[in-house]
Amino acid sequence: MQQGKCDSLAEGYWGDEIRQLFYSNYGDLLYLVNMKVDKHLFRALAQYCNPAYSCFTFVRIDLVPIVEEYTTLLRCPN
């Protein structure tokens, strides 16, 4: 039984095989969707966000973090 939108992604809904396939394709993306965001950190990162190039720009250096690096930046335990 679904209680709301997107709750089909909740723990226990997927079997082990489907969950492993998702993680092999998308890494830790699901953990980022379900985590609380530190507002101060988000504001600090937003100052350097360059949406035209989908990266962060620090002076003359462009950085494009991967999903695993986002989990570290956002202090996600997984």
Summarised one tens digit per residue, pLDDT across range 57-73 is 888 888 787 777 777 77
Confirm whether pTM is higher than 0.75.
no
Q: Which two tokens stand for residue 60?
A: 């003359």
Q: What are phi and psi of 76, to 5 degrees?
A: -80, 130
Q: In terms of C-beta distances under 8 Å and separation of at least 24 residues, what long-range contacts does 14-21 make, across chains too?
A: none
Q: Which two tokens stand for residue 36?
A: 């609380």
Nearest to 30 by CA among 42, 48, 43, 18: 18
Summarised one tens digit per residue, pLDDT across range 25-54 is 887 677 667 778 788 988 888 888 888 877
Single-letter amino acid code for the residue at 59: V
